[in-house]
Structure 1
Amino acid sequence: MAAPPPSPLCSPPTATMSAPVFLFLLHLFFPFATPQTLTLNLTQKQPSFPANDPWAKLSQLAEFSLARAHHLKNRHHYHGDGQPIAASEVATTNVAPRSSGEYVIGLRFGTPAQPLPFVLDTGSTLVWFPCSHSFRCRNCRSPVSAFPPFIPKSSSSARLVGCRNPKCRWIHSRLPSNCSSSSVCPPYFVLYGSAATGGILLSETLSLPGKPVANFAVGCSVFSDHQETGVAGFGRGQPSFPSQLGVGSFSYCLPSHRLDDVRGAYGTLVLGENPAASRGLTFTPFLRSPARFGAYYYVGLRKVTVGSVAVDVPPLRPDGNGGTIIDSGTSFTVMEGGTHDRLAAAFASQVRGYRRAVAVEKQSGLRPCFEVGRRKTVALPAMALHFDGGAVLTLPLKNYFSFVGETDAICLTVIGAVGEGTVGPAVILGNYQQQDYYITYDIVKERIGFRPQTCQQ
């Protein structure tokens, strides 16, 4: 699949798109409505992979990760004002793994509240949901009926955001010259690597247990491509979920992908500071995000060790390229080509007793892969991530090698961004490498903390 062209987070509407979308949405929303500890749910999306193709799952996850990496490396984001966000109440939510490689939180919007699933995405800032009975999803892995859309006409609190509303500028850096107090905020169009969506901004009530949040800015998408569920942006920026809630930190613990699609297998997402859960964390500071990539969480990853071999990671440069971001919306970690070549060579030079699975590498697009037979235990070099401030993540084997379908081969779940050069982040830490770690994003203190933990509740 070809990677999409570079695009801003929310580009201005085109003339061919804006008029019909506005007419549709005006019809959609007529008539308009007049102006502690909490618990939510988090699950993972469930795609359909060909059952007779043992390489399908990993190769498609690799393809999606590379497409998203291309997008993240070339994307221009809204840049937040850098002001610390005040701490707020604590909310906890469940996290369940699915085979698509994306984690989804369950949220409720509207009056009365309508439950909806959202991908948890720390690499973007907009919160949006599929919207109206007319919602269309092209190239989606599940039918629209599997994820019922939000119905604005059924909500007494749904309002369109005006063009002069400050929240409109959250998603549009430039507004049309005819923008007035009586006009509606222009439609948005968002790219997510291999996925895309478009719609219009709403002000709606978010229902958290015991705490309704009025006037929450959320996107009402009328079409999507490769994205059948909504997305909850947790990145840096005013439209993001934690920013609109005013929380000073958030944390998550993503359960193992070995539990993909297992009913009742949950991890945790925490909104707000939870001192009891923060004990034993090792912290590394966030780096100042470049203006071009202001929505990302940059961390100082200095090197990756594979057994006795150290692989240096390109640092964040003054021109805004290089460096490392952490992204819950990317499945496999993506490295710029040269760094990945050195990482793969470090494994290849130290692995003993297993043959290279060359055919699997060609079929899956992953490398290195090894034939390990039907062994109950597999011995491979340890992999650890070394950050500024002394934080070290020594990854369990399942976080960096995965079996390929029903074959006897395992492959490294870190991939190289061939042909991307040094544009944008050099390393994107995906959620496969974050499994079974309790991770805290401390927005007020500008740091991120890690602690190994079995995340399944």
Structure 2
Amino acid sequence: MDSSFFLFLLCVSFAFFPGSIDSAKAKPRAFILPVSKDNVTLQFSTMVELGTPQTPVDLVIDLGGQMVWFVCENGFTSSTYRPVPCGSAKCGAAKGVGCVGCDGTPRPGCTNNTCGVYPYNPVNNSLYSGGLGEDTMAIFSTDGRRYMNISVPSLAFACGYNDQLQGLVNGSQGMIGLAKTQMALQSQLSAAYKIQNKFALCLPSGNGRGYMLIGGGRYPEDVSRLLIRTPLTINPVSTAPIYSEGDRSDEYFIDVKSIRIEGKVVSLNTSLLSIDKDGVGGTKISTVSPYTVLHSSIYKALVNDFIKKAAAKKINRVKAVAPFGACFSSKKIAGTKTGPAVPIIELELQGNGTFWRIFGANSMVKAKKDVLCLGFIDGGLEPRTSIVIGGLQLEDNLLEFDVESSTLGFSSSLLLHKTSCSQSKAMFSYPD
């Protein structure tokens, strides 16, 4: 990831908040991180600076990740790095398991009597035992008057291994976890600076730059008024790769009541939309799944109804292009401000008349020349979660995850309102 977003913020700072930037005297009220999309892996990543001296580190964003982790074994050195001792309070907060040690020269990722944790990469399903450490992390922030580059002390992260980078964006060195855990990035920043435990994601499309906003504040008036709120639901059984009996899931689930296409309810087994006592079913949101993945029976019902509605619009179906099951000729599909003019998909959520609307830009994928495919994937007959809302469906949607109130705020497509995540990335204002 390049530094253009950071330079942009600095320009905004001097233009609108004149005067010197003295981060030592300011109390951060929110933290801002740039977000970019890799058009090969379709993953979203951000950049932070770790350690002393500061080392730029690109990290893939994992909404369901329990912690921050990156590979320390590639020459990372820092005079401010400290291993977290096993048995310490911070180790307990990280749900550390035992101690790890190392026979080599002490360095980040190779220390004795260190809290053992399990950094996880869901893309290649790799899980290793690693040591928990803490160091400074430089992140852009604001105190309501200016933007600053704050050096956050004692931010905890796990040291992963090179094998865990397989499948991630080329050049990335780990992942930023944003789950409802004490070691997730937003939770650590919230605890350290007494700011609200919530964060917003605005994921870009194409080559644009989006943002992550951690903490309080207001969005631009024309964007904030678009947010519709729905409760985050609790999955009673953990979906983490390692957990203890009785642990709840730390991922973000919402209650989908029905799916509609052009206003018509899709006929499906509604029991799949609920989470059972074993933690199976329901709907969660993911930033590492490129497309929405559906239980096979839901997928087939959605695709069949979509094809019928597309035919009514004189949209011609063509041979499918893997991994998609429904593809169409784009020659007679008109373009609109929200993407291709195809049938609108609606997720009915908890709350009277609450709908997440998915327009063409978030439902269709250009598979090859003159071919657009419905960007949903068949997840088989026995998935752990019935609906996993993926990256394509999240792009250019403002999503606010309020961990304290357990609510999700969502805008549906910003394109409908003549803006996007790239266009509105630095337009924040804060109360006095």
Band the TM-score falls in, shorter-chain normalisation: 0.7 to 0.9
Is 1:105–1:118's contact at 8 Å kept on the other side of the alignment? yes
Paired letter, 2:134: S
Counterpart among 392, 404, 419 of residue 432 in structure 1 = 392
How far 1:305 moved relative to its partner? 0.9
Q: Partner of 1:350 in structure 2?
A: 309
Report if the CA contact (8 A) 1:196-1:226 is conserved. no
Residue 381 of structure 1 aligns to which amino acid in structure 2?
P
Q: Which residue of 2 aligns with 1:329?
A: 288
Please point out which of 217, 232, 238 is paired with 2:182.
238
User: Contact 1:130/1:221 (CA < 8 Å) preserved in 2?
Assistant: yes
Distance apart, 1:243 and its partner CA: 0.9
CA–CA distance in structure 2, aligned partners of residues 299 and 251 of structure 1: 16
CA distance in 2, matches of 1:203, 1:165: 13
Q: 1:315 and 2:274 equivalent?
A: yes
Stretches of structure 2 that go unaligned for 5 or more consecutive residues are 9-26, 102-110, 141-148, 191-195, 240-248, 415-419, 424-432
1:190 maps to 120
Q: Which runs of 5+ in 1 are unaligned?
A: 1-38, 43-86, 134-150
Q: Distance in 2 between matches of 1:192 and 1:267?
A: 23
Q: CA-to-partner distance for each residue in 1:307-332, whole Å, 9 max, x for gaps?
A: 24312552222332111111122210
Check conservation: 1:40, 1:91, Cα contact below 8 A: no
Alignment partner, residue 418 of structure 1? 380
Mark the CA change 1:410 to 1:41 in structure 2 (over 3 Å): closer, same or farther: farther
Matched, 1:441 2:387: no
Are the counterparts in 1 of residues 99 and 113 from structure 2 also a CA contact under 8 Å?
no
Counterpart of 1:200 in structure 2 is 131
CA separation of 1:439 and 1:116: change in aligned 2, threshold 3 A: same
Which of 408, 415, 421 aligns to 1:455? It is 421
Residue in structure 2 matched with residue 163 of structure 1 by the alignment: 86
The one-character-per-residue Cα deviations of 1:265-290 (angstroms, maximum 9, x if unpaired) are 21221111223443331100111232
Shift of 1:427: 0.7
TM-score (norm 1): 0.69
2:230 and 2:407 in contact (8 A); partners too: yes
TM-score of the superposed pair, with normalisation by structure 2: 0.73
Identity %: 23
Question: How far does residue 349 in structure 1 lie from its aligned partner after superposition?
Answer: 2.0
Partner secondary structure for residue 167 of structure 1: helix
Matches within 5 A, 1:62-73: none
Distance across 2 between alignment mates of 1:165 and 1:221: 21
Partner of 1:98: 38
Amino acid at match of 2:218: P
Counterpart amino acid of residue 299 in structure 1? I
**CA RMSD for the aligned pairs?**
2.7
- 2:16 counterpart residue number: none
Q: Is the 8 A contact 2:203 2:211 kept in 1?
A: yes
Deviations 1:17-49 (CA, angstroms, capped at 9, x unpaired):
xxxxxxxxxxxxxxxxxxxxxx8699xxxxxxx
Partners of 2:179 and 2:250 within 8 A in 1: yes
1:45-64 mapped onto 2 (5 Å cutoff): none
CA–CA distance in 2 between the matches of 1:103 and 1:226? Answer: 13
**Structure with higher RCO (Cα < 8 A, 6+ apart):** 1
1:116 corresponding residue in structure 2: 57
Report how far residue 301 of structure 1 moved: 1.2
Shift of the alpha carbon at 1:341?
0.9
Partner of 1:254: 203
Q: Which amino acid in the other structure matches residue 323 of structure 2?
A: G
Closer, same or farther in 2 for the Cα pair 1:395/1:113, shift >3 Å? Answer: same
- CA positional deviation for 1:176: 6.4
Distance 2:357 2:199 in 1: 22
The residue that corresponds to 1:216 in the other structure is 155
Cα deviation for residue 156 of structure 1 reads 0.7
Aligned length: 343
Pairing partner for 2:363 from 397, 400, 403: 400
CA contact (8 A) 1:402 1:410 kept: yes
Q: Shift in Å at residue 379 of structure 1?
A: 3.8
Provide the secondary structure at the position in 2 that maps to 1:292: coil
Q: Which amino acid aligns with 2:31?
A: A
Q: 1:349 to 1:276 in 2, by over 3 A?
A: closer
Pick aligned residue for 2:235 from 289, 298, 301: 289
Mapped contact 2:283–2:385 kept (Cα < 8 A): yes
CA contact 1:152–1:158 (8 Å) conserved in 2: no
Distance across 1 between alignment mates of 2:119 and 2:234: 27
1:383 and 2:345 are equivalent in the alignment: yes
Secondary structure, counterpart of 1:275 in structure 2: coil
CA distance, structure 2, for counterparts of residue 162 and residue 392 of structure 1: 47
Is residue 104–residue 119 contact of structure 1 (8 Å, CA) maintained in 2?
yes
Tell whether the 8 Å contact from 2:85 to 2:115 is kept in structure 1 after alignment: yes
